[in-house]
Amino acid sequence: MKTIEDAIQRIKVPDSAWRAKAQERLRHQARPAGSLGILEEVGLRLAAIKRTLDVRLASKVIVTCAGDHGICEEGVSLFPSDVTPQMVYNFVGGGASINVLARHAGARVRVADLGVAHEFPPDLPIFHCKVAPGTRNFARGPAMTRDQAQRSLAAGIGIVSALEADGPLDLLGTGDMGIGNTTPSTAIIAAFSGLPVEQLVGRGTGIDDQGLARKAEAIRRGLELNRPDPRDPLDVLTKVGGFEIGGLAGLTLGAAAQGIPVVCDGLISTAGALIACELAPAARHYLFAGHNSVEVGHRYMLERLELVPVLNLQFRLGEGTGAALAMELIDAATRVLADIKTFEEVSIQDAQT
């Protein structure tokens, strides 16, 4: 699809010269070198992306992509699928966890319907991008068609364009809502990594041991039946993915194409980011891991993407909550780089070797 190809071709590696300038400033600041840990690396990466030592992230948006999943027929979640649309209404009403944490971070929340099994009113203020009312059960066949996978990616790219049309977008956060979506996300990392499903599967909404066994078995059956090709990220998405995961992948591609840094949330958001980076490896340069989820598969995704999470708070909620909290520290990293004085600026002599 031309939209996807165009976005991939427009992704450029950030400016290494600006990273070097930022590194030089950090090296001369009036404090021990490396003493602010990961904030320094975040600042370096943002300087290279934004091409300035004084990065300002005034406009922050978190897009929560929603979709339903046929794999829920296998009893992989504690909650029924009709919770998904109810939560979308809660997001729009401002009463969900993501709304509270985003407000604290100074970020707006926008919701996108990529595949919820519910017809929302046309005037509901969300992105109406429904590909279909939920995926098919991938334990019994492909989750979607290849065309549907492409449409979900294109929808995410289009959302970034729509946000930019409304004004500058400095930082994008990605979040998810979809009952059962830890199952396709785990299947995605299993397909790419080749690791045993038992090593990757987690409890999602809090399923018991029997539920965990059902979930692992459903993923194994789906992988054996559909044989997703790890060399073809679209095939992986088609065979075992979700519409909202495709949308999240599109958000990552669309933002990277526009030079916008992306903060992904937990397992599901990172599954989308992983699809994007397998399609366009350069997109990884724009990606920040908001946190390390307790979902075990998330760790393997982060390792594959070579990302160090900003936070480790034992979260397993989704929605974009981890991304929202990480935005506050990412903001702090910009001030570390720009505002901490150098030894020379404060006339401290003989402090460096």
User: What pLDDT score was predicted for residue 351?
Assistant: 60
Closest-CA residue to 225 (of 138, 340, 349): 138
Query: Which residues are within 8 A (CB) of 136 and not within 5 positions of it... i.e. 6 or more apart?
Result: 70, 142, 143, 144
pLDDT confidence tier of residue 26, bands split at 50, 70 and 90 = very high
Tokens linked to 345: 């600026």
CA distance 97 to 201: 25
CA distance 169 to 60: 6
CATH of region 60-330: 3.40.50.10210
Q: What are phi and psi of 27, to 5 degrees?
A: -65, -30
User: What pLDDT score was predicted for residue 347?
Assistant: 84
CA distance 77 to 243: 18
Check: CB of residue 111 under 8 Å from CB of residue 239: no
Secondary structure of residue 119 in the 3-state scheme: coil
Q: Is the pTM of this model over 0.95?
A: yes
| 244 among known catalytic residues | no
Q: What are phi and psi of 264, to 5 degrees?
A: -95, 155
Beta partners for residue 60, in sequence order = 107, 171
Mean pLDDT, range 144-168, rounded to an integer: 97
User: What pLDDT score was predicted for residue 285?
Assistant: 98
User: What angle is formed at CA 81 by the lines to CA 292 and CA 185, rounded to 5 degrees?
Assistant: 35
Name the percent of the chain lying above pLDDT 70. 99
Check: CB of residue 245 under 8 Å from CB of residue 185: yes
User: What pLDDT score was predicted for residue 1?
Assistant: 75
Mean pLDDT, range 284-292, rounded to an integer: 98
Mean pLDDT, range 77-87, rounded to an integer: 94
Q: Is the pLDDT of residue 158 over 80?
A: yes
pLDDT confidence tier of residue 352, bands split at 50, 70 and 90 = low
In the chain, where the domains are located: 60-330
User: What pLDDT score was predicted for residue 350?
Assistant: 61
Mean pLDDT, range 226-254, rounded to an integer: 98
Beta partners for residue 246, in sequence order = none
Q: Is the pLDDT of residue 206 over 90?
A: no
Q: What are phi and psi of 195, to 5 degrees?
A: -75, 155
Residue 90: count of CB within 10 angstroms of its CB: 18
Closest-CA residue to 253 (of 228, 278, 229, 230): 278
Which of 80-89, 110-119, 343-352 bottoms out in mean pLDDT, i.e. has the lowest?
A: 343-352
What Cα–Cα distance (Å) separates residue 219 from each residue in 8, 71, 222, 333?
A: 30, 9, 5, 39
What Cα–Cα distance (Å) separates residue 181 from each residue in 65, 135, 159, 259?
A: 11, 11, 21, 29
What Cα–Cα distance (Å) separates residue 140 from each residue in 37, 82, 136, 219?
A: 47, 22, 8, 11
Strands (E), the chain: 60-67, 107-115, 127-128, 171-177, 262-264, 287-289
Catalytic residue chosen out of the listed positions 164, 278, 319, 328: 319
Q: Is the pLDDT of residue 353 over 60?
A: no
Which of 22-31, 133-142, 299-308, 340-349 bottoms out in mean pLDDT, i.e. has the lowest?
A: 340-349
Check: CB of residue 189 under 8 Å from CB of residue 271: yes
Check: CB of residue 97 under 8 Å from CB of residue 230: no
CA distance 147 to 284: 25
Beta partners for residue 61, in sequence order = 108, 172
Helix residue ranges per DSSP H, 166-200: 182-193, 197-200
Find tokens 């995410």 and name the residue.
156
CA distance 242 to 38: 32
Average pLDDT of the chain?
A: 96
Element (H, E) at 168: none
